[in-house]
Structure 1
């Protein structure tokens, strides 16, 4: 990206909010055919035209009039209406005569966050799991409008959209899956139109979704905001990131002992791998003594497979599961395929296929985080002309290059304020019921900052709209390999920060610690996520009495002899252990060394103890990236939120609380 491009881009961003002073009526991207408007409140409709021109709007047998200001902007606030429709709207003025048809009145929800909110039914796994749902989806009273991805250096007053689309097999495939199931549940309950404003972007951080005003008390973001607004500084960042990435690539290439001068030495058919380590089945190397950080770089995997006589000299297909991040796969010393993250299926030319012994070698380049072959979904097969052979089982493996993570590309969309400017600011002043939010994965290395940042973002949005609307969010799911022993966890700390945000009024959190997947940061089960958000909405946004919308949440504790008694809120009709005795409870004494504990339900409390901890002072529950098997629920079937009775002050020492 060169300086000229950056300068032009920034100029366009700065001018995007300015409307031609001689233009006819222009409406924002949110307003158009099939839109859903918010019931029971004054409904803002706005646009731009020549300054000081007359605007007339007809809607629901009423006529509204106004004039544009010197900036060409006009706004009319329609009288509140009950749910219903369809209605039509006619807007005249400045030589324009615009008709908007098929308008419904109902409840509108902003659906924002990162990739798990953006996750659509187009996902291959979702297509399979929800095939019947997609094929039979038909509800004209649930509609979504998708906001086009855009970052900006200053607050924009308009955005591009893909138009309002109703639930229909052709449209539903592009719905946010979480938002779709959320809306489906609300419609089933209240039988009113539900509008979804889908404004999300995968891999994004909360600070990118917060305005400059919202971040004003967090000086750590000031420099990045300055860079975003300064073309020369932004160009420097792009160039530095490019150079750093190239240096990393060259170092891996230079130091890879298995690949020298263009020759894949460790892929050779007769290469001696007898001194390599062995893993019992395809897996990440992190799970075999090479855990991150600083175990990125290059690893090699090798495997011998035996093929029957009738396979020799015939084309074959290798199914080799997933890989993280990039693979180069060889068959009997010859490269047969390469790709980035994803399921691999490679054709093997007949000339390479032998009867008996054949060698598969995989060179894996891992840029950051965990790396290696993925053990889920499990799919390792040889598919020949007449047969399919399971080739799952042991792999030899060896590290070739040890290096830290690859410097990432410079992504201005993740700069503080960038997405608020481009994708949230343009939604003002559209009226809506509330927000559903699914984000946090990209902030897991900033859990203590998130304690301040996330509430600040919510308060910022509320201030921008001038009202305290309901804000419902999803706590991070379980993810990564389960720990054999109690460990510290960035993901657990981020979940804790999310829980602390519940101190804000009209917020609710949906716990999905039981819906995640160890090897996929995008779990396919979005139906239960949507249903739990809908439960939260029914209580927090719609004020239903007596509804249990949350699983058990930690309240306080009491130490009694060698046991700790835990007290909870949101227990509904009682605590329960799903699928056997309670798991994922850990306990510690003054040495702060946590060990697995025995935990039993006693009425509305849980009693925790361990023979190895005679004087306990703290308990943790489900405190890991993936607390596999955690099973404390209430009788309504909602899981308990992970917690710890100790907490880190973020500076020097661990503090404990009662």
Structure 2
């Protein structure tokens, strides 16, 4: 007895209670509660990348024996959880099909069902990628009544930040129907729908988007911090109450947790929030692409959207960002969609036409990644020029079928001499060349087309794609 406190409880003497307590703390007599656990991206309704070696992973007790059985080949694979409670197994996938199941057995048993095997794409960026039916988009609202398609699956990652790379996300796979589509990226849906209808395989779409974000927050911070130029530019990201502004935090919270999940490629729509740092955007964007490829350990195709014409408050910042994106498109295994002809209101930074944007991204994927016959997808681009009789003769790549004007004369076209004073230009077309002149410019030096914030332009290839805005000079451009 210690001051009236009994040394036994329910007939058990205190030394035995202490022993039981120690056992409980050490887990020696606890039931097997550390069951096999899976990341959210490995779950019911998921789409696995076809004809690939995909990684399955999760957590369990250290040294726990785990068997994995895949129903498409009835093969069983064995692995053992490591000392840090993680486990992984690489398994081969067949050609597209399903539905299938995967059974995981350890101290417990889990069965993941309704699995399809097909093509998986990451769909990321800022608000123009995030826009969905809930935003009031007419093209999505029109699609809702017939949206149900079990061969299109969504994995919508919620907005999350973290200062270090995370191991999981709070999301789940769903099938496409009028409810799930209404809150899913419109661009991603129209991209996936075109792939699914053309390739006749299941398509899995993983959305990770956040309106108002700069590319820095989607880039692993180690890439930015070890590059002096990008490190300085990142300081110019303005803070916002609606989105993060620190390098790497969206990457850490939303994409890093799924980099073990096999994918076919990436579509990206972002740039509006980097118009203030256009001078370093090509360096940043290509570094981001390479960082994603390193994380996924594959040369991912990366197809992105050039930002649309819009009346930014600062002069020429949109034009300079579009130029940086065009320069980025020369990076290996990338492709750029031009949207100058898809904008009905240049005072709205969120163009309503998402159907054609998604379709053009899909045409890039069909033509380049899948080597399928597709609609024309490579926009005509300025290639070179010569001076001939006081005129500049411009040649274009991807214009073998010739150029055409949607209207009487080419708009948003200017020419200058050495004085750097630009005059509205006259022009004529000869196949895939454009002759440009102005009587006031006797010795022309430079031509600009569509090179302003809100220019839409009317110069197209004969296959219907707009010419990419360009300038032939590299003179300083005012942005105040």
Question: What is the alpha-carbon distance in structure 1 between the residues aligned to residue 153 and residue 80 of structure 2?
Answer: 31
2:245 corresponds to 1:414: yes
Question: What is the alpha-carbon distance in structure 2 between the residues aligned to residue 86 and residue 567 of structure 1?
Answer: 51
Match of 2:23 in 1: none
- The structure whose residues are more often strand, as a share, is 1
Match of 1:643 in 2: 470
- Contact in 1 for aligned 2:39/2:57 (Cα 8 Å): yes
Residue 410 of structure 2 aligns to a residue in which SS?
Answer: coil
Match of 1:99 in 2: 111
Question: What is the alpha-carbon distance in structure 2 between the residues aligned to residue 649 and residue 108 of structure 1?
Answer: 42
- Contact in 2 for aligned 1:182/1:534 (Cα 8 Å): yes
- Contact in 1 for aligned 2:62/2:85 (Cα 8 Å): yes
2:371 corresponds to 1:543: yes
Give the structure-2-normalised TM-score.
Answer: 0.88
- Aligned with residue 439 of structure 1, among 270, 276, 296: 270
Residue 122 of structure 1 aligns to a residue in which SS?
Answer: helix
Match of 2:410 in 1: 582
2:220 corresponds to 1:204: no
Instruction: Name the CA shift for 1:610/1:543 in 2 (closer, same or farther; >3 Å).
Output: same
Residue 414 of structure 1 aligns to a residue in which SS?
Answer: coil
- Aligned with residue 491 of structure 1, among 314, 318, 326: 318
Moved more, 593-602 or 466-475: 593-602
Give the structure-1-normalised TM-score.
Answer: 0.65
2:385 corresponds to 1:554: no
- List per-residue Cα deviations over 1:505-551 (Å, max 9, x = no partner): 11000000121221211111000001110111112211236863122
Instruction: Name the CA shift for 1:645/1:193 in 2 (closer, same or farther; >3 Å).
Output: same
Match of 1:521 in 2: 349
Question: What is the alpha-carbon distance in structure 1 between the residues aligned to residue 476 and residue 75 of structure 2?
Answer: 59
Match of 2:177 in 1: 168
- Aligned with residue 51 of structure 2, among 22, 35, 40: 40
Question: What is the alpha-carbon distance in structure 1 between the residues aligned to residue 226 and residue 389 of structure 2?
Answer: 45
Question: What is the alpha-carbon distance in structure 1 between the residues aligned to residue 328 and residue 79 of structure 2?
Answer: 41
- Counterparts of 1:139-288 in structure 2 under 5 Å? 139-161=149-171, 163-219=172-228, 222=231
2:133 corresponds to 1:133: no
- Contact in 1 for aligned 2:212/2:242 (Cα 8 Å): no
Match of 1:121 in 2: 133
Instruction: Name the CA shift for 1:572/1:188 in 2 (closer, same or farther; >3 Å).
Output: farther
- Aligned with residue 23 of structure 1, among 29, 34, 40: 34
1:114 to partner: Cα distance:
0.3
Match of 2:337 in 1: 510
- Contact in 1 for aligned 2:53/2:92 (Cα 8 Å): yes
- Contact in 2 for aligned 1:451/1:500 (Cα 8 Å): yes
- Contact in 1 for aligned 2:340/2:466 (Cα 8 Å): yes
- Contact in 2 for aligned 1:29/1:160 (Cα 8 Å): yes
1:561 to partner: Cα distance:
2.5
Question: What is the alpha-carbon distance in structure 1 between the residues aligned to residue 214 and residue 130 of structure 2?
Answer: 14
- List per-residue Cα deviations over 1:357-386 (Å, max 9, x = no partner): xxxxxxxxxxxxxxxxxxxxxxxxxxxxxx
Question: What is the alpha-carbon distance in structure 2 between the residues aligned to residue 457 and residue 610 of structure 1?
Answer: 42
Question: What is the alpha-carbon distance in structure 2 between the residues aligned to residue 222 and residue 619 of structure 1?
Answer: 34
2:250 corresponds to 1:423: no
Moved more, 604-613 or 543-552: 543-552
- Contact in 2 for aligned 1:154/1:421 (Cα 8 Å): yes
- Contact in 1 for aligned 2:338/2:468 (Cα 8 Å): yes
2:436 corresponds to 1:608: yes
Residue 555 of structure 1 aligns to a residue in which SS?
Answer: strand
Residue 181 of structure 1 aligns to a residue in which SS?
Answer: helix
Match of 2:448 in 1: 620
1:130 to partner: Cα distance:
3.7
Question: What is the alpha-carbon distance in structure 2 between the residues aligned to residue 224 and residue 54 of structure 1?
Answer: 49
1:158 to partner: Cα distance:
1.1
1:33 to partner: Cα distance:
0.6
Residue 444 of structure 1 aligns to a residue in which SS?
Answer: helix
Gaps of 5+ in 2: 1-31
- Aligned with residue 79 of structure 2, among 49, 60, 66: 66
- Counterparts of 1:310-459 in structure 2 under 5 Å? 409=240, 413-459=244-290
- State the number of aligned residues: 443
Question: What is the alpha-carbon distance in structure 1 between the residues aligned to residue 75 and residue 453 of structure 2?
Answer: 56
Match of 1:463 in 2: 294
Question: What is the alpha-carbon distance in structure 1 between the residues aligned to residue 318 and residue 365 of structure 2?
Answer: 25
Match of 1:386 in 2: none
Gaps of 5+ in 1: 1-20, 228-406, 653-658
1:183 to partner: Cα distance:
0.8
1:36 to partner: Cα distance:
0.3
Question: What is the alpha-carbon distance in structure 2 between the residues aligned to residue 186 and residue 554 of structure 1?
Answer: 30
Question: What is the alpha-carbon distance in structure 2 between the residues aligned to residue 219 and residue 151 of structure 1?
Answer: 24
- List per-residue Cα deviations over 1:438-484 (Å, max 9, x = no partner): 000000010011021000000111111111110000001111289xx
Question: What is the alpha-carbon distance in structure 2 between the residues aligned to residue 603 and residue 409 of structure 1?
Answer: 49
Match of 1:357 in 2: none
Residue 134 of structure 2 aligns to a residue in which SS?
Answer: coil
